[in-house]
Amino acid sequence: MAELINREAALEARPVRREALETARDADGALRLSFDFARPRWQCRLGAPEKARRTFVLDELGAEVYEQCDGKNSAGQITERFARKHKISQGEAEHSVSEYLKTMISKGIILMEVDRE
């Protein structure tokens, strides 16, 4: 199980995009992310192919956050930019961005780099 970190450490963590992720823009500006993955053995035993492809479509706001996940920007920096650009409070931006980052982590789209003291 992943080790829990406090709020300050979470804001200092740097989101990083998954390697081998293919990206493409749709005509409407949505960002399409695709990657291959190995299925669990039990699915293969039931007849599913070993390899599968997963695709996610990010809207404009999701793409804005995702594109800043370069391993250089911290979650806090992304949050500050989001708040300024969309003229919302820092607290609202922190909640929205952190929930979105958690969702991208759970889907395997990004990882978080955390500096250990």
In this prediction, what percent of the chain has a pLDDT beyond 90?
A: 70
| Whether the predicted pLDDT of 117 surpasses 80 | no
* C-alpha torsion 43→45→47→49, nearest 10: 60
Q: What is the pLDDT of residues 5-36, one digit of tens each?
A: 788 888 899 999 988 788 999 888 889 999 88
Q: How many CA atoms lie within 13 A of 28 on its CB side?
A: 6
Q: What is the pLDDT of residues 41-53, one digit of tens each?
A: 999 999 999 999 9
Neighbour tally for 21: CB within 10 Å = 16
Phi, psi of 112 (to 5 degrees): -115, 130
* Whole-model pTM over 0.75: yes
Axis crossing angle, helix 90-106 with helix 75-86, rounded to the nearest 10: 130
Strands (E), the chain: 14-17, 22-25, 31-38, 51-58, 110-113
In this prediction, what percent of the chain has a pLDDT beyond 70?
A: 96
Model pLDDT, residue 81: 97
Domain 7-107 fold is: Arc Repressor Mutant, subunit A (1.10.10)
